[in-house]
Structure 1
Amino acid sequence: MRLLPLLFFCLVPLLHAQEAPLEVKGAMTVNVLQARYLYERGAIFIDVRPTREWTWGHIHGALHLELLDRFQDLEQPHWPRQIPLVIYCDSDVCPHGAQAVRMAVGWGYRQVFYFREGYFAWQLQDFPQGKGLQGERLVLNLPDR
């Protein structure tokens, strides 16, 4: 019985979520204030979180391209490769944002911004947010599958 508490304290560090990388080659990592600057200048924000999290709240006007579902649509040639993309997940412990950024860079996008801090940092600043299934600032139309 004495080993149980000791085992617990030894295993707790292993249970913590792994942080997302600090940077992604070919992209620029931005903090919440830099992301807001890009937002005000019309950059396309892409939220790669699951639909359930998206509907609870997202950056106002962001495009929802869940990493394991519609994110592959960005690979299509009708998307101009020079548009600025700000890609985010929920926080700096979510690796999906970094994975999506790597993919976008690999597909030839030239202005990819990695918003590592993600939606939770945006929410804490009380910056513009939306709820539900639609992105309000969508500029480009994606074809349905």
Structure 2
Amino acid sequence: MNSDNQLLLQQVKGNVSKKYWDNLKEEKFMFQKCKDCGFSIFYPRVVCPKCMSENLSWHQAKGNGQIYSYTVVYRTGDPIFKSETPYVVGLIELAEGIRVMGIIIGWDDPEALQIEQGVSIVYDKVTDDVTLPRFKINREGVV
């Protein structure tokens, strides 16, 4: 990510999401799970969206998943991102059942990506305070 893009990064480090962001800096992808109904939750929340329980716990994702959906961005609406095109934004289904949106990297031809193609989380240290998860294509193919 170029230095102009770093200016766009804004984090909300409230009580709910602070653990998520802090663990990314340690290269750990965390999600929540409801202790009452067992529902896996991502993005960090105060209550379970399924049963409204506040009884949530944190868990570390294994870091592998598959492409659920994606789009290739050839033309960005913001000139700051022009040097980054083309890039791929994907909805990734992790092994734990949660879906996470992020940038897919490690492809040779973005048009050759496939639904259910395997990916693994890699960590992009953008600044000392911000680490972002990216999803790298597994060369083995489909999970």
Q: 1 or 2, which has the higher helix percentage?
A: 1
Q: Give the TM-score, by structure 1 length.
A: 0.24
Larger Rg: 1
Highest RCO, 1 vs 2 (Cα 8 Å, sep ≥ 6) = 1
- Please give the TM-score of this superposition, normalised by the length of structure 2: 0.24
Q: Which has the larger share of strand?
A: 2
